[in-house]
Structure 1
Amino acid sequence: MILKDQDTAGSFSSGGYLNRQILLSVAIRFLLYFVHWMVLAYLPVVLKGYGVSDLQVGSVIGFFALSSMALMLPLGLFSDFFSPKRTMMSGALLYGIYFAALLKVRTFGLLLPVLFLGGVGSAALIVVSESLYLKHFGNIERGRRVAFYQLSTYLGFGLGPLVGGLVVEQRPSLLFGLALLGTLLIFGLAFFLDDYEPIVFSFKKYGEDVAGFKPLLLIACVFVLGTHFGVEQTSFSLLLQEKLGFAPRMIGLVFAGLGLWMALTVPFIGRLHDKRQSVFLFFLVGLGVSGFFQVMTAWAFDFWSLLIIRLLHTLGDAVALLELGVLVALLFPAQRLGGNSGLVYGVRTLATFMAAVFAGVLNGQWGYGASFVGSGLFVMLFVAVSIIFIVLSRDRMGAVGWNRS
C-alpha cells in the first residue's frame, strides 16, 4: 500500500492497522541496529585477531563509514522519488551479501571492497527506514513517537553486542552468519511495510529546505555528534580489551547495560520534550554532557568506574539523538525527508569517518584513551561556541526558541 502524509496523521490510538505499521517499523529498526552493533562492536577485535594493525583497523572502520556517507544522500533522494520500501529491501540484500563475504575475507586489501558494499547496504537501511517512519508518523506527537522509535534502536545497540560477545568467545566467524540471518529477516519484514507516494524531483526545493540558520545549525551539530561516534567505533571495544582487560563477554555486558539504559531513559526524555520543546537547547546540553564524560572515559580504571562514566555519557547521547530526530521531522517537509535525512546522515557519517581514521592514528601513538579526550574536548568547545554565538543575537535566539526574560 502507498500512503500519503494525511493518511497517517492520527495518534497511536487511531487504529490497529496504524499501530501494526508502527510496530513493524520499530521491529525492523531493532533488528537493523542489533545486527549492525553485534558485528561492529567486535569487528576491530576480530580484525586485530587477523593481524590487522591499529592504523588499518581505523582505516577499515572509517572506510565503512565513508562508503555509507557517499551514498546516503543519493539513496535518500532516490527513495523520495522512487520507493522507500523497495530501497530498504535492496539495502537489506546488499547488507546480507556483505556479511556473507565477511565469513571468508581475512586480509586488509580484500576487506576494503567488502566494507564498501556493507556501507552501501547500511546507508540504504539506516537512512530510508528512519525517513519512512518519520514520513508516516512524525507529524504529530514528535517527541513521543521519535522516542518510541529510538527505544528500539537502543535495545538493538545494547543486545546486539551482548549476543556478539557470547558468540565471539566461542566462534568469531559465527558472528557474520547470525548477522546474515538477521538481514534476511529485515528483508522479509520490510515487504509488509506501507510505501510512501513518490514526489517529482527538484534540486531547488531541497536547497531551499537547508538554506536557513536552523537547518545549518542542525547540520553543524550533527557533524560534531558524528565525530565522537567515529572514536567510539574505532576505539571503545579496544579500550575495554587492551587497557581494562575485558573479555568479549564483559564487553558485551557493557554494551548491553548502556543500550538498556538509553532505552529506559528515552521515553522520559521524549515526554519532557513534548512539554518543553526547547529543541536546540536540549540538543546542545545533551552534546555537552556527552562530551564531558567522553573525556572522563579515558580515566576509567575498572568495570564500575567505566559503567558510571558511560551511563552519564550515553544520557547526553540519548538527549541529543532524540532532539536530532525531532528536528529532522520538524524542519524538513515530509515528502522530502528521504533526501534531507540522507544529507543529515551523510554529514554525520563523514564526521564518523574522519574521526575514526584520526582515532586510529592517536591509538597507535598515545594509547586508546587519547582519542576519547580529544573527541570530548572538541564537542565541549563546539557547544560553548554555539551557545555564545546564539545568545549574542536576539534574532538567533528567537529562531531557536530561546527568549530573554
Structure 2
Amino acid sequence: MIFQRIFHQLRSNKTLIILCVEVIIMMMGIGLVSPILPQYARTFGVNMTMIGMLITVFGIARMLVDIPAGRLTDKIGRRPVLIVGPLILSLGSIGCAISDTYWIFLAFRFVQGIGSAMYTTAAMVMLADVSTDENRGRLMSFYQGCVLLGAGLGPTMGGFIAQYFGLQAPFYAFAAMGVIASFWAYFSLPESRPSIVKPALRAARSKSNKPVKALLRNTDFILISLITFGVFVTRQGAQNQILPLLASDRLNSNEAQIGFALTVVALIQLVSIFVSGKYSDRAGRKGFITIGGYILVISLLMLTAVDSVRFLLLSCIVMGVGIGMCGTISSAYVADIIPRENYSIGMGTYRAISDLGFVLGPVFLGWLSDIHSFGLALIFNAIFLLVVLVWFQVKAVESRSPAY
C-alpha cells in the first residue's frame, strides 16, 4: 500500500522520473567496474595499497569538484552539468581501458571522479529544485532507491562481461552507458534552475557574501554533514571493507556468502528508504535521522561480536534499516534548511564534506584494523557516529514541522 501511494504520487513528477532513469544507467555503469577493479589493477603488478588508491583518488576528485560543480549549476544550469558529467565519466572509462601503466590508470580514475562529482551534485540540486517541503522525503527516497537499483544490477553484469570479453570490457561498457545517459539527459531532461532575474539573485546572495562560510557557521548544516560523513565512513569502511574481511576471517565465508550478506544490507536499505522517506514528510526529519543513526550504531557494535553466519545476517539487516533511515533523510534535511537561492552551493558543500568520509573511511578504519583489530575500527566508527548523533539531537532544529 505504501509503495502504491508513493509511485502514484511520483508519476506526476516528470523531471524526477527522467532523472531517475539517468541515475539507474549511471549507477549500473559504475557498478560494472566495481567487481573487476582490483583484478584489473593487479595486471599492472601493484600491491594492495596501490589498489586501494584507485578508490581513494576517485573520492578525492569528487571531494575537490563537489563545490565547483555546485557553483557551475548556478552559472550554466543544472541540465548542462547533468549532460557533461556522464561524458567525462565515459572519457575516464575509455582512458582506464587503454591505460598501459598504473599511473595512467590512476589519472583516469581521477577523471572519472570529476565526472561523478559533476553528475551527483547537479542531480541533488535538481532534486532540491523540483521537491517541496511536503514531498521532499519521498522524492529523495525514490531517487536513492534508483541509485541502489542501478548499483545492484551493475556488478552482476560487469562480472559477466569481464568473464566473456576480458577485464577491459566493463570499462568500455561503462563508457557506452555514460554516453547513453548523456543523450537521455540532452533529449529528455528539462532545466530546473529557478528563473530568477540576475539582480534579484545577486540581492539575495548579498545577504551572505560568502555562502560557503555562512554554511560552515550554521550548526544545523555542520551537524547533518557530519552525520552523513559518518554514514559514508560506515558504508565504505565498515560495510564494504571490514565486513567482507571479518566474514572471511572469522566465519570462513566464501565470496558468494559475503556477496549475499552485502545484498541483504542493500535490500533492507531499499525498503527502509521508501518507508522512512514517506513518513518523514509527515512526522519530520530529525527523529528519523537520529533513530536511524542509533540503529546504525547498534549494527556496528553487533558486527564486533559476530560469531556465526546467522548473527552476521542479523547485523546486516539492522545496518540496512539504519542506513536507509538515516542516509537519505539527511539529504532532505539539508534541502529543508538551505535557502532556495543557495541550493547549488549548499548541496556542493554538503557533498564535499560527505565525500571526505568516502576518502577517509577505508583508509582510517583499515589502519585501525591493521594496528589492532576489526573490533577496534568498528567501535571507533560507532563512537564517532554516537557523539555526532547526540550532538545533533540536542542542538539541531527540526527542519520540517510534523503534519499529521
User: Given the superposition, is the C-alpha separation of residues 385 and 365 from structure 1 closer, same or farther in structure 2, using an over 3 Å criterion?
Assistant: closer
Instruction: Determine if the alignment matches structure 1 residue 270 to structure 2 residue 280.
Output: no
Instruction: Determine if the alignment matches structure 1 residue 62 to structure 2 residue 93.
Output: no
Residue aligning to 1:6: none
Residue aligning to 2:3: none
User: Given the superposition, is the C-alpha separation of residues 314 and 68 from structure 1 closer, same or farther in structure 2, using an over 3 Å criterion?
Assistant: same
Instruction: Determine if the alignment matches structure 1 residue 349 to structure 2 residue 355.
Output: yes
Contact kept, 8 Å, 2:265 with 2:319, in 1: the verdict is no
Superposition deviation, residue 352 in structure 1: 1.7
Residue aligning to 1:175: 170
User: Given the superposition, is the C-alpha separation of residues 259 and 45 from structure 1 closer, same or farther in structure 2, using an over 3 Å criterion?
Assistant: farther
Q: What is the rounded CA distance, in whole Å, between the counterparts of 1:166 and 1:217 in structure 2?
A: 42
User: Given the superposition, is the C-alpha separation of residues 129 and 384 from structure 1 closer, same or farther in structure 2, using an over 3 Å criterion?
Assistant: closer
TM-superposition CA deviations, 1:164-205 (whole Å, max 9, x none)? 344444433222122122211110111121112476564434
- Determine which of 376, 379, 398 is the counterpart of 2:378: 376
Residue aligning to 2:387: 385
Q: What is the rounded CA distance, in whole Å, between the counterparts of 1:374 and 1:182 in structure 2?
A: 40
SS at match of 2:79: helix
After TM superposition, the structure 1 stretch with the greater mean CA deviation from structure 2, 86-95 or 30-39, is 30-39
Counterpart amino acid of residue 28 in structure 1: E
Instruction: Determine if the alignment matches structure 1 residue 289 to structure 2 residue 289.
Output: no
TM-superposition CA deviations, 1:319-371 (whole Å, max 9, x none)? 111211211220112332121111111011112212222345456666xx72x
Alignment of 1:3-402 (within 5 A): 18-48=12-42, 50-105=44-99, 107-170=101-164, 171-191=166-186, 192-195=188-191, 196-197=193-194, 200=201, 202=205, 203-232=209-238, 235=241, 239=245, 243=249, 244=252, 246-247=254-255, 253-277=260-284, 279-297=285-303, 305-362=311-368, 370=374, 373-386=375-388, 388-389=390-391, 396=395
Higher relative contact order (CA 8 A, sep 6+): 1
Counterpart amino acid of residue 362 in structure 2: A
SS at match of 1:341: helix
Q: TM-score, normalised by structure 2?
A: 0.82
Q: What is the rounded CA distance, in whole Å, between the counterparts of 1:258 and 1:128 in structure 2?
A: 27
Contact kept, 8 Å, 1:332 with 1:340, in 2: the verdict is yes
Contact kept, 8 Å, 1:282 with 1:319, in 2: the verdict is yes
User: Given the superposition, is the C-alpha separation of residues 236 and 91 from structure 1 closer, same or farther in structure 2, using an over 3 Å criterion?
Assistant: farther
Name the count of aligned residue pairs.
Answer: 383
Q: What is the rounded CA distance, in whole Å, between the counterparts of 2:259 and 2:183 in structure 1?
A: 28
Counterpart amino acid of residue 173 in structure 1: Q
Q: Where do 5+ consecutive residues of structure 2 fail to align? A: 1-5
Counterpart amino acid of residue 299 in structure 2: F
SS at match of 2:341: helix
Q: Where do 5+ consecutive residues of structure 1 fail to align? A: 1-10
Q: What is the rounded CA distance, in whole Å, between the counterparts of 2:349 and 2:396 in structure 1?
A: 25
Contact kept, 8 Å, 1:219 with 1:347, in 2: the verdict is yes
RMSD: 3.3
User: Given the superposition, is the C-alpha separation of residues 241 and 184 from structure 1 closer, same or farther in structure 2, using an over 3 Å criterion?
Assistant: farther
User: Given the superposition, is the C-alpha separation of residues 287 and 318 from structure 1 closer, same or farther in structure 2, using an over 3 Å criterion?
Assistant: same
Counterpart amino acid of residue 266 in structure 1: I
Q: What is the rounded CA distance, in whole Å, between the counterparts of 2:88 and 2:376 in structure 1?
A: 35
Contact kept, 8 Å, 2:70 with 2:122, in 1: the verdict is yes
Contact kept, 8 Å, 2:88 with 2:114, in 1: the verdict is yes
SS at match of 1:65: helix
